[in-house]
Amino acid sequence: MNFKISPRVRAKLADEKHNVTPQEVIECFANRDGPAFRDERAEHDTDPMTQWFIAETDTRRLLKIVYIEYPGFFAIKSAYEANRTWIDKYEEMCAAHGA
C-alpha cells in the first residue's frame, strides 16, 4: 500500500488533539478487519469519495482513519482516537452490512 500525507495533515496528526503518528495510520490499514464506509456528511463530500474506518494500532489503540483512495495510493485526510460515538456507529454499520 502506498500512503500520501500532506504536510498540513501531517502537522494536524502530530498536534496534541490528534496525537497520531503516520506509522499508526499504516498499522490501522494493516490491522483492519471491517469495511470502510463513505463519509456522507456534506462538508466532507469529495471526488473520489472520502472514506473512513476504525481499526487498532499494533498497541491496540482504536483510531478512526479518514482517507481518499486514488489509483495506486491512499491520501490520508485525518486520523484520531475513536470515541464511543464513532465506535458504536461503526459497529452498527458493520452489522448492517453483514461484516
Q: What is the pLDDT of residue 13?
A: 95
The domain of 70 spans 3-96
Bridge pairing between strands 73-81 and 3-4: parallel
Q: What local confidence, expressed as pLDDT, does residue 46 receive?
A: 81
Amino acid type, 9: V
Read off the pLDDT band of 95 (50, 70, 90): very high
pTM for the whole thing? Answer: 0.92
Q: How many domains does the chain have?
A: 1
Using one digit for the tens of pLDDT, what is the confidence trace for 30-60? 999 999 999 887 676 788 899 999 999 999 9
Q: Say how far apart CA 87 and CA 18 lie, in whole Å.
A: 16
Longest dimension (CA), the chain: 37
Contact 54, 86 (CB under 8 A): yes
pLDDT grade, residue 97 (50/70/90)?
Answer: confident
